């Protein structure tokens, strides 16, 4: 595995392998000194064309806990603003002999293009509306932590699926791992076609809620109202928001996930966000472990040793 | 000495020997003698002071591309009238109509004269198109009559179209008596806004904003009504969907003066080609689903497509080395169009393997859409015959030559094509423009 570009097309086995690896790093993260020398001498660059402090910090924390050096390419103050092409930016980074580039880009597919131009590993930290694979892995890990397995779970993904890279990655991750997915959104917020998507769909959140183990809420942005995709955010909340009343109708064991940052009062009521069943902070914590696992998987063992040998050394280090 | 320098290095009289002739009247064995810019004789065992070998080849009336971007003025780093004409001649075209979407656009007599002057010593005939409206801004009409008097036949606000129905109505009405063609780029802006590829299964999977087929079809639907209202000659740019072509065919059956063109990439590639996020697959209109490709192939096979065009759109490398969503639309196409079409669509002779079209296109239908049909749109008196006395615009195609499409070897300054690396079968061997061999043995003489 050289790159992590997207979840679509990944096998259950390779997803499981990453989740099992994540267990080891979750254990390391629980230690007093959560740092191992596994990637000492490696350099990881973050290249974010869209601001996302949370995701960037999560990747940089993961890299540092593996003892990799990190460098952060800030697009807003860089030559990209001066018209440098994506390819030139990437080649410049590579000339600094980095081992991996973590890229966030507003244009779907940008990490695929980078992977064609670069010899180093490319990690997709979110591309357009397309994929956000480490988010899906951390969500799957969070559910696995809670339920032991995703097999047989029924997951409702609620909200702006059309514009959501999180939803696109999660549909593939959840279904590959054995869960059943139902998309809940008005037609205007669904992709134009669901051909080839292994999902059910519904516009009736109230009917779906009692049947699911997981409610995955997506961030609802104000601009969707201006694009005539929903009449008002108020009406959106009335139909698709997880209000206190709706949360009360969830099954006892059901949990609520959200990729953050939450719009309290829009897709989720403030009281619901603070419930024990809302696992948002678990997701954030697991994000670091998952990203450690991915970086380790892509970068360790390049000298010929196997991942498990490396990890043994890492665990003892 | 000046007389020496001006002596053309091409022969004034020569014979194309050993080929079959394919024109509007059919296909037959014949040699063709060219003298002083005209076809002097067509028949068996003809001779002339010079012989251009055409053994095993097919001689067709010169190919015509109604939709070629030449990049000049304004984008000379990507293309020029001369480089585009050279690529066109190597691709067998004896005439191209240069799009007016330059910078500045071609919307006045001075600009038209500039393109005509630049084209005077180009490898093939370059006819300027002009914009329908001043500055292609969609506000006031360009001086259609003045430009028509300078020889402009096609008026198009390319890349933008004419969304305003009243303005299009006026252009069709005003242009009807001038004998000009009003060209519409059929795309409803409010439905296409923000779209980067066809809206459908692939755009949904790839998370790319889509342009629905209906963005094209609602414009075709509306503008066919305007053609009926005005009686003007309406021509649609690169229609990409099965429903668009069905509507055009229906309108023609009802006697409307309507024509349309298809871009070769819409026959050969579907939207699944965008799955690798290769900016070379980004077009406008976008690549459509497989069903539309098949429908366009069938329409070409049935002779329902008026003309096949390259939609040649030169870009610099840096315009295509960016993410898909930021990339410019269009690709280079003049030089490889006929070879690609022969390789991918026709059954010139018995062959196996390769991605054959579901419905093989007959050679006559293909050449018709590349030669006499577009030629008749430029000049309704054009007969499309290889006959004594006709202007010697001829294309000589070797249908069995095999080669590989390498954009780096092309004459165009623009290298972007989604077909790079394709194995081709069929190649333009000679191109004769007004009796002058501008391409001999696949090498440009200009």
pLDDT tens, position by position, B302-319: 999 999 999 999 998 878
Instruction: Give A-chain residues touching B201 at CB under 8 angstroms.
Output: 193, 195-196
Average pLDDT, 10 consecutive residues per value, chain A (317 residues): 96 97 96 96 94 93 97 71 75 90 95 94 97 98 98 98 98 98 98 97 98 97 87 96 97 97 95 97 96 97 53 53
**In the predicted model, what is the mean pLDDT of chain A?**
92
Write the DSSP symbol of residue B329: P
A225 CB within 8 Å of a chain B CB: no
Instruction: Give B-chain residues touching A88 at CB under 8 angstroms.
Output: 321
Q: Per residue of chain B (446 residues), give pLDDT as tens.
A: 333 334 445 668 999 999 999 999 999 999 999 999 999 999 999 999 999 999 999 999 999 999 999 999 999 999 999 999 999 999 999 999 999 999 999 999 999 999 999 999 999 999 999 999 999 999 999 999 999 999 999 999 998 999 999 999 999 999 999 999 999 999 999 999 999 999 999 999 999 999 999 999 999 999 999 999 999 999 999 999 999 999 999 999 999 999 999 999 999 999 999 999 999 999 999 999 999 999 999 999 999 999 999 999 999 887 888 899 999 999 999 999 999 999 999 864 444 444 445 568 999 999 999 999 999 999 999 999 999 999 999 999 999 999 999 999 999 999 899 999 999 999 999 999 999 999 999 999 88
- Pick from A106, A109, A196: which is nearest to B277 by CB? A109
Distance CA B307, CA B195 (A): 27
β-sheet with B125-128: strand ranges across: B63-68, B93-98, B125-128
Q: Do A8 and B325 touch (CB under 8 A)?
A: no
Q: Do B323 and A130 touch (CB under 8 A)?
A: no
Helix axes B363-370, B290-301, angle to 10 degrees: 90
Residue of B190, B192, B207, B275 for testing the chain A interface, max A β-carbons within 10 Å? B207
Q: Do B325 and A194 touch (CB under 8 A)?
A: no
Chain A residue with CA closest to B210: the answer is A192
Of residues A13, A3, A188, A194, the one with CA closest to residue A112: A3
Chain A residue with CA closest to B204: the answer is A191
Q: Do B323 and A191 touch (CB under 8 A)?
A: no
Rg of chain B (C-alpha set): 21
Q: Do A191 and B322 touch (CB under 8 A)?
A: no
B286 CB within 8 Å of a chain A CB: no
Of residues A241, A238, A254, A234, the one with CA closest to residue A160: A241
Residue A117 distance to chain B (closest CA, Å): 10
Report the pLDDT value the prediction gives residue A74, as an integer from 0 to 100.
Answer: 74
The catalytic position among B311, B319, B393, B398 is B311
On whether the CB atoms of residues B171 and B144 are closer than 8 A, the answer is: yes
This prediction's pTM: 0.93
B277 CB within 8 Å of a chain A CB: yes
A80 CB within 8 Å of a chain B CB: no
Distance CA B433, CA B125 (A): 7
| Residue B405: how many other CB atoms lie within 10 Å | 18
Residue pLDDT, tens place only, A113-139: 999 999 999 999 999 999 999 999 999
Written in H, E and C, the secondary structure of A177-240 is CCCEEEEECCHHHCCCCCCCCCCEEECCHHHHHHHCCEEEECCCCCHHHHCCCCCCHHHHHHHH
B323 CB within 8 Å of a chain A CB: yes
Q: Do B325 and A108 touch (CB under 8 A)?
A: yes
Instruction: Give B-chain residues touching A130 at CB under 8 angstroms.
Output: 206-208
| CB proximity list for A187: less than 8 A, separation 6 or greater | A203
A196 CB within 8 Å of a chain B CB: yes
Residue pLDDT, tens place only, B351-380: 444 444 556 899 999 999 999 999 999 999
Q: Do A113 and B277 touch (CB under 8 A)?
A: yes
Write the DSSP symbol of residue B25: T
Instruction: Give B-chain residues touching A191 at CB under 8 angstroms.
Output: 203-205
Q: List B263's β-bridge partners, or say none.
A: B309
Q: Do A110 and B207 touch (CB under 8 A)?
A: no
Q: Do A107 and B318 touch (CB under 8 A)?
A: no
Domains along chain A? 12-132+287-316 (3.40.50.1370), 133-282 (3.40.50.1370)
Q: What is the CATH number of domain B61-383+405-421?
A: 3.20.20.140
Q: List B397's β-bridge partners, or say none.
A: B58, B428
Instruction: Give A-chain residues touching B321 at CB under 8 angstroms.
Output: 85-88
State the Cα angle at B103 between B196 and B336, rounded to 5°: 60
Q: Which residue matches tokens 């201006």? A: A226
Write the DSSP symbol of residue A242: B
């Amino acid at each position: 595995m050289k790159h992590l570009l997207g979840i679509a097309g990944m096998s259950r086995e390779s997803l499981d392998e990453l989740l099992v690896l994540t267990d080891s790093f979750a254990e390391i993260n629980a230690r007093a000194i959560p740092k191992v020398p596994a990637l000492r001498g490696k350099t990881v660059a973050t290249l974010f064309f869209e601001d996302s402090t949370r995701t960037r910090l999560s990747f940089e924390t993961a890299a540092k806990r593996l003892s990799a050096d990190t460098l952060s390419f800030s697009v807003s103050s860089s030559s990209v603003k001066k018209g440098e092409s994506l390819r030139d930016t990437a080649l410049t980074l590579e000339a600094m002999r980095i081992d991996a580039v973590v890229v966030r880009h507003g244009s779907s597919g940008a990490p695929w293009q980078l992977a064609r131009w670069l010899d180093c590993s490319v990690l997709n930290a979110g591309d357009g509306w397309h994929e956000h694979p480490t988010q899906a892995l951390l969500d799957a890990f969070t559910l696995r932590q809670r339920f032991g397995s995703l097999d047989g779970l029924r997951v409702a993904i609620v909200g702006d699926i059309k514009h959501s890279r999180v939803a696109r990655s999660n549909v593939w991750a959840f279904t590959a791992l054995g869960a059943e997915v139902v998309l809940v959104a008005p037609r205007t917020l669904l992709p134009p076609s669901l051909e080839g998507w292994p999902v059910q769909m519904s516009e009736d959140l109230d009917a779906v809620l009692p049947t699911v183990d997981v409610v995955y809420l997506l961030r609802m942005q104000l601009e969707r109202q201006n694009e005539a995709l929903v009449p008002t955010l108020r009406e959106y909340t009335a139909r698709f928001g997880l209000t206190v009343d709706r949360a009360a109708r969830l099954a006892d064991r059901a949990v609520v996930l959200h990729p953050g940052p939450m719009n309290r009062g829009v897709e989720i009521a403030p009281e619901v966000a603070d419930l024990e069943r809302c696992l948002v902070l678990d997701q954030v914590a697991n994000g670091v472990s998952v990203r450690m696992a991915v970086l380790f998987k892509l970068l360790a063992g390049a000298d010929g040793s196997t991942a498990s040998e490396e990890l043994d050394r890492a665990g003892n280090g | 000495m000046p007389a020496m320098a001006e002596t053309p290095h091409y022969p004034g009289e020569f014979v194309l020997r050993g080929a079959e002739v394919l024109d509007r009247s059919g296909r037959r064995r014949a040699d063709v003698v060219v003298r002083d810019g005209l076809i002097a004789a067509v028949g068996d065992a003809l001779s002339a002071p010079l012989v251009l070998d055409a053994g095993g080849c097919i001689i067709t009336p010169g190919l015509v591309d109604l939709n070629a971007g030449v990049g000049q003025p304004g984008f000379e780093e990507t293309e020029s009238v001369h480089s585009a004409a050279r690529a066109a001649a190597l691709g067998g075209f004896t005439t191209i109509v240069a799009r007016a979407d330059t910078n500045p656009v071609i919307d006045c007599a001075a600009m038209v004269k500039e393109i005509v002057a630049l084209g005077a010593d180009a490898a093939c005939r370059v006819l300027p198109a002009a914009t329908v409206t001043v500055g292609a801004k969609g506000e006031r009409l360009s001086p259609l009559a003045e430009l028509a008097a300078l020889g402009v036949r096609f008026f198009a606000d390319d890349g933008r179209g004419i969304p305003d129905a009243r303005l299009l109505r006026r252009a069709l009405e005003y242009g009807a008596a001038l004998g000009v063609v009003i060209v519409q780029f059929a795309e409803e802006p409010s439905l296409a806004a923000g779209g980067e590829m066809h809206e459908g299964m692939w755009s949904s999977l790839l998370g790319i904003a889509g342009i629905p087929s209906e963005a094209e079809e609602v414009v075709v639907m509306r503008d066919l009504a305007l053609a009926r209202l005005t009686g003007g000659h309406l021509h649609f740019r690169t229609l990409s969907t099965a429903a668009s072509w069905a509507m055009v065919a229906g309108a023609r059956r009802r006697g409307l003066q309507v024509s349309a063109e298809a871009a070769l990439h819409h026959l050969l590639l579907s939207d699944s080609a965008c799955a690798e996020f290769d900016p070379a697959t980004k077009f406008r209109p976008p690549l459509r689903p497989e069903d539309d490709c098949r429908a366009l192939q069938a329409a070409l096979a049935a002779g329902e497509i008026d003309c096949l065009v390259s939609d040649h759109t030169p870009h610099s490398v840096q315009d295509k080395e960016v993410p898909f969503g930021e990339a410019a639309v269009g690709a280079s196409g003049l030089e490889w169009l006929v070879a690609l079409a022969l390789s991918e669509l026709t059954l010139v002779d018995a062959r196996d393997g390769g991605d054959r079209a579901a419905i093989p296109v007959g050679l006559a239908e293909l050449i018709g859409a590349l030669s006499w049909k577009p030629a008749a749109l430029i000049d309704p008196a054009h007969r499309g015959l290889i006959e004594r006395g006709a202007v010697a615009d001829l294309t000589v195609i070797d249908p069995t030559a095999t080669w590989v499409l390498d954009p780096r070897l092309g004459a165009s300054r623009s290298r972007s094509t989604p077909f790079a690396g394709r194995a081709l079968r069929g190649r333009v061997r000679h191109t004769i423009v007004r009796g002058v061999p501008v391409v001999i043995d696949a090498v440009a003489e200009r």
